[in-house]
Structure formats: C-alpha cells, structure tokens
Copies of this chain bind each other. A is one copy, B any other.
Amino acid sequence: MLDYKLLEALTAVVDQGGFERGAQRLGLTQSAVSQRIKLLEARLGQAVLVRGPRPAPTPVGRRLLNHARQVRLLEHDLLDQVPTLGEADTRLRLAINADSLATWWPASMASFCREQRLLFELLVEDQEVALKRMRDGEVAGCLCDSPRPVQGARSHALGQMRYRALASPDFVARHFAQGLDHAALRRAPAIVYGPDDRLQHRYLARHDFHEPFPHHLCPSSEGFVGMALAGLGYGMIPERQVARELAEGRLVELPSPEPRARRIEVPLYWHHWRQGGETLAALTRHLLRQAGDHLEPLSTNDDAPHQAGHR
C-alpha cells in the first residue's frame, strides 16, 4: 500500500497553507514534514508541491490529495463499525452556493453533524467551478442549480429557493414613486452578486426592460442584504433569508404591476460522488429528508431555470 504518512504530510501542508502550519497541525517539526514531502517526491520522481508563500499542489500532487481525501472518508465509515480503531478527524469537503450557506444549510445540518461527529470544509463557489471541482475529485459533494451530474457522480433535486425583488421602503419611495417604469429602472441602482448572477436581469426582462442598468457588485450574501437594508440598491433576495426584515417592514417588494413576474424560483440540486461511502450516502438521505422543511417544492414550469446564474 501507499505510505499514508507521506500523503498526510502533503494534505496538511496544502490544507493549512504552509509547511509551518501543516507541521503544527500534525504535531511534527517543520523539518520532519519537509522530509516526508521530499521522500514522496523522490519516490514519484516528480514534484508534488509548487513551493511559495502558499504551497500549491502540482497536477500529480492534486491527484494524491484527492485520493487521500477519499481514503479519509472510507476510514470514517470504517470507524462506525470498529469504534476502537481510534478517532478519525474526518473533514468532508463540499462546495455550497453562497445563498444556501447564508440561509438554510447550517440549520439543516445540525442534528446530522452531531450524530456523525463530522467536520465540514465548505467552499463557496459559483456553479461552473463547483462542478469542475466535483469532476476533479476535489469536493465530495456540491449544491448547485444544474441537474446534470458530472461523470462518477449522482444528482438529486432538493427543491427551490424563492427570490423576490426587495429594497428599503425609503429606496422604493425615492426611485419608484411613479411605479416600476423604465425611466426609473434606468436610474435606480440594483445590486448584483457577481458577473454570473443573472437574477436581476431575468427580473427586469420579465418587465420588458432589456437595457443596461446601473448596479453595485457585491459578492457576499450578507453584504447584499446589508446594502439593500441601507438603501443603496434593490436586488433579488431569497425570501427566507429576510423573513424578519420583511415582517418588520425594513425591506419591501418593488411595486411590480405583474404579480406573476415578482418571484423567481431557483432550483437546487445536490451532487455527490457515487463511490463516496456510507457517510456521504447518509448525508444525502438526510438532505433529502430535510429539504422539504427549508426549500419550496420544485416546480417545473419556470421560464429559464438553468440560466439563473448561481450565488
């Protein structure tokens, strides 16, 4: 078998972002960690790390890292059956879309994590990157709005998040006193999460507005809501993220004349490795059970469900 002490050293250096921290993590000296990695490279006949202020894996290093992560997951499963083996420090790497992480994901995971003694390493990625990381084996699962699984993975529909166009009452009074007309939309600043976030564009297209519009760019779910609350702009916000602000009247809906155009539903799919072991399978069952409490049921008559962009 492979010498997993060497792979463990590689994983620690990459995950902790340096030799010194990696050594701390393992309770070893820096020179011991450095020797293990040199030994690994000598056996392979090629480098596994690009040295620098933050060491990065080479392509072959990345393949070894992915393998080490998969082995860790399987060890976690084994530990359930043979608890005397010792304590596994299993960290499950998942890519989660920003709005899920800012809303329903933590609450839905509470009981599962307690029972499984599982640690998460979460990445916040846009959809294309998340699926690429699935394909490269860098994450064991991801949440995104595309139903198509990458090779070696499965996907499950969980439900959908409902977005509404919201702003502060003051902002609406200032910009939309005459209603949601095109003159107002040309001047009122929107908030857009990033270049892949097309939700505002879709909302405007439903109101026959296809021109460029002024917008802030704010790649943070909470910053997005904060900017809307502060009256800096309007934007599409998950209804459940701001239930309290809506109830308190601190955010209100734009005065759209078309009730059917007001809400945009974004579907969410859970993707996971097919050969991910029992922990990942249990997480999948848990997510499918929990989804109904946190998401709207999936509808299939949305206008463009896969051009929603992802945030």
Contacts and interface: CB of A to CB of B under 8 A. Distances in A.
A215 B119 contact: yes
Interface residues of A, number: 51
Given A222-B222, A223-B102, A122 B216 contact: yes
Interface centre among A114, A195, A222 (most CB of B within 10 A): A222
A229 B106 contact: yes
B17 A195 contact: yes
A120 interface: yes
A141 to B, nearest CB: 15
Contact of A106 (B16, B17, B215, B227): B227
A220 B91 contact: no
User: In terms of DSSP, what is the predominant structure of the interface of chain A?
Assistant: mixed
A106 B25 contact: no
28 contacts: A17-B196, A21-B195, A53-B128, A96-B223, A98-B220, A101-B220, A101-B222, A102-B220, A102-B226, A106-B223, A106-B232, A109-B232, A110-B231, A110-B232, A119-B214, A119-B216, A120-B216, A120-B217, A120-B218, A121-B216, A121-B217, A122-B217, A122-B220, A123-B219, A124-B219, A220-B221, A220-B222, A221-B222
Nearest to A93: B217
Interface string A202-233: 00000000011011111111110011011110
Given A16-B195, A96-B223, A113-B189, 19 more contacts: A21-B195, A24-B212, A25-B212, A102-B220, A102-B222, A105-B226, A106-B223, A107-B229, A107-B230, A109-B227, A119-B216, A120-B217, A120-B218, A121-B216, A122-B220, A124-B220, A220-B221, A221-B222, A222-B222
